[in-house]
């Protein structure tokens, strides 16, 4: 049996990539021997915008019992690097899949790659360029240097869309045939809750609920959604609720000022906190429509939750989202940053009250099959040396 090791963030620094790593590992375990190396401490806690929830148990999702997990590689502790080496030596994977979403862990990825000299490395890109990291000179220099070293060590590369593939090929000068597009799987692990029950638990009335969900950062375009809501006809806005659920990482002043200046500010609810897993079904079942007014994006875990719940989604036509949501009947695309288009789409959904929609055929069994086709092209060259 081919043995695979997946490398990604632990649940301590919980994120969409944490969920993805778990779902991918559990899916691949149906056909392969799977192990996981988790990054525990990613960077100094005070530098992490979401430091309030670091280390808290916010997710019910976990690895299968037959997936072996090393849950403790830290960015600044060589002893944990040696522990990861010993784990890899024992597991002796044929293929190592590195989850790339931030340059801050590039040196740990590189260390894993150096340890895995007898395994083929696959580098999976969830984000090609983070604007915040690019704006900070030391991080930008570190990212470019370490990123290029890491990219050279990979045998294959994975993106979730053709648009990201083009970005990766251009940025790192990778031959196109070395980059495989494997779609992002749906986050369909959440339970269904009757809408009335969900709204009662969230303290909502029988109003029309427009939900935007997830960490709030400048590229998410939340101020534009607030302005669009403020431009809606009074009869619609006054019978609706704009529900903004997600921890503010950046852009706090822009979001709070947009709410304060809205003519319908009393119809806007901001839940500025990280939403734990057991509450996620309440928000999505309570919603009539989900709006994702991103200014740029590679992928969106939130979109893959909303599609799993069959909700109509008003989403910006940007990056990988245009491709990954094109086959979902509930998608209404709008130009990025176009306040009027967002308003018109929300008004249309309010008038038509469509759904629920059938989620796209993008289960994790499909992801496993596509990864299997990729893995079959990689010929393992042996096992580990006894020494580093």
pLDDT digits (tens, 9 = 90+) for 17-40: 999 999 999 999 999 999 999 999
Are 274 and 179 part of one and the same domain? no
Are 226 and 346 part of one and the same domain? yes
Structure tokens at 64: 């299968």
Angle among Cα 365, 366, 368 to the nearest 5 degrees reads 65
Question: Distance between terminal CA atoms of the chain?
Answer: 25
Residues across the chain? 388
Q: How far is Cα 97 from Cα 125, in angstroms, rounded to an integer?
A: 10
How does residue 13 score in pLDDT terms, banded at 50, 70 and 90? confident
| Helix intervals (H) in 137-251 | 137-153, 162-172, 195-202, 222-230, 234-237
Residue 291 domain boundaries = 195-352
**Contact between residue 53 and residue 14 where contact means Cβ atoms under 8 Å apart:** yes
Q: What average pLDDT score do residues 326-334 get?
A: 94
Domain assignment present for 388: no
- Domain count for the chain, please give it: 2
How high is the mean pLDDT of the chain? 89
How does pLDDT run across 297-307, given as a tens digit for each residue? 778 889 999 99
Backbone angles phi, psi at 13, to 5 degrees: -100, 75
**Burial class for 217, CB neighbours closer than 10 Å (0-12, 13-18, 19+):** buried
**Residue 388 pLDDT:** 30
| Confidence check: pLDDT of 384 > 50 | no
From 91, 109, 177, 116, select the one nearest 377 (Cα to Cα).
Answer: 177
Are 110 and 237 part of one and the same domain? no
CA 128 to chain CA centroid, Å, is 13
Q: How far is Cα 294 from Cα 221, in angstroms, rounded to an integer?
A: 5
**Residue 132 pLDDT:** 63
How does residue 48 score in pLDDT terms, banded at 50, 70 and 90? low
Are 213 and 179 part of one and the same domain? no
| Confidence check: pLDDT of 167 > 60 | yes
For the chain, the farthest-separated pair of C-alpha atoms sits apart, in whole angstroms, at 73
**Residue 2 pLDDT:** 94
Domain assignment present for 91: yes
Domain assignment present for 383: no
Assign residue 319 the CATH number of its domain: 3.40.50.2000
Domain assignment present for 385: no
Are 71 and 150 part of one and the same domain? yes
From 183, 180, 181, 184, select the one nearest 378 (Cα to Cα).
Answer: 180
Are 147 and 236 part of one and the same domain? no
From 332, 361, 6, 65, select the one nearest 188 (Cα to Cα).
Answer: 361
Q: How far is Cα 159 from Cα 370, in angstroms, rounded to an integer?
A: 12
3-class state of residue 208 by DSSP: strand
| Confidence check: pLDDT of 272 > 90 | yes
Are 201 and 181 part of one and the same domain? no
| Confidence check: pLDDT of 195 > 90 | yes
Are 129 and 239 part of one and the same domain? no
Are 164 and 238 part of one and the same domain? no
Are 151 and 35 part of one and the same domain? yes
**Residue 135 pLDDT:** 66
More reliable by pLDDT, 49 or 198: 198
Are 119 and 258 part of one and the same domain? no
How does pLDDT run across 57-108, given as a tens digit for each residue? 778 899 999 999 999 999 899 999 999 999 999 999 999 999 998 777 888 9
How does residue 320 score in pLDDT terms, banded at 50, 70 and 90? confident
**Contact between residue 201 and residue 338 where contact means Cβ atoms under 8 Å apart:** no
Domain assignment present for 298: yes
Q: Which residues of 324-359 are buried (b: 16+ CB within 10 A; e: fewer)?
A: bbeebebbbbbebebbebbbbbbbebbeeeebebeb
Backbone angles phi, psi at 69, to 5 degrees: -125, 130
Structure tokens at 119: 């395994």
H or E element, residue 284 = helix 280-286
Domain assignment present for 359: no
How does residue 49 score in pLDDT terms, banded at 50, 70 and 90? low
Domain assignment present for 381: no
| Confidence check: pLDDT of 46 > 70 | no
Domain assignment present for 19: yes
Are 297 and 243 part of one and the same domain? yes
């Amino acid at each position: 049996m081919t043995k695979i090791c997946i490398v990604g963030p632990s649940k301590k620094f919980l994120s969409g990539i944490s969920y993805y790593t778990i779902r991918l590992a559990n899916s691949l375990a149906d056909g392969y021997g799977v192990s996981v190396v988790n990054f525990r401490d990613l960077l100094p806690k005070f530098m992490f915008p979401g430091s309030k929830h670091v280390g808290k148990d916010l997710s019910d999702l976990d690895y299968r019992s037959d997936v072996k997990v090393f849950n403790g590689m830290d960015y600044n502790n060589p002893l944990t690097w040696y522990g990861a080496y010993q784990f890899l030596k024992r597991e002796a994977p044929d293929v190592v899949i590195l989850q790339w979403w931030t340059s801050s862990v590039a040196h740990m990825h590189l260390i894993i790659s150096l340890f895995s000299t007898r395994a083929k490395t696959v580098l999976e890109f969830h984000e090609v360029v983070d604007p915040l990291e690019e704006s900070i000179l030391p991080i930008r220099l570190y990212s470019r240097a370490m990123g290029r070293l890491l990219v050279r060590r990979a045998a294959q590369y994975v993106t979730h869309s053709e648009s990201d593939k083009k970005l990766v090929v251009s940025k790192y000068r990778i031959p196109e045939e070395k980059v495989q597009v494997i779609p992002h799987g749906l986050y369909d692990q959440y339970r269904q809750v009757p809408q009335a029950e969900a709204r009662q638990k969230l303290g909502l009335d029988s109003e029309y609920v427009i939900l935007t969900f997830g960490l709030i950062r400048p590229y998410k375009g939340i101020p534009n959604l607030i302005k669009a809501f403020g431009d809606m006809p009074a009869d619609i806005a006054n019978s609706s609720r704009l529900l903004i659920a997600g921890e503010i990482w950046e852009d706090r002043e822009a979001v709070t000022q947009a709410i304060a200046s809205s003519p319908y500010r009393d119809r806007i609810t901001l839940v500025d906190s990280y939403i734990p897993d057991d509450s996620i079904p309440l928000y999505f079942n309570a919603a009539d429509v989900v709006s994702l007014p991103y200014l740029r994006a590679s992928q969106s875990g939130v979109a893959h939750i909303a599609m799993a719940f069959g909700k109509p989604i008003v989403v910006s036509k940007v990056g990988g989202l245009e491709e990954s949501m094109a086959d979902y009947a509930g998608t209404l695309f709008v130009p990025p940053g176009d306040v009027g288009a967002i308003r018109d789409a929300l008004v249309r959904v309010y008038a038509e009250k469509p759904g629920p929609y059938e989620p796209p055929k993008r289960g994790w069994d499909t992801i496993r099959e596509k990864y299997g086709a990729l893995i079959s092209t990689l010929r393992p060259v042996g096992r580990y040396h006894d020494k580093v």
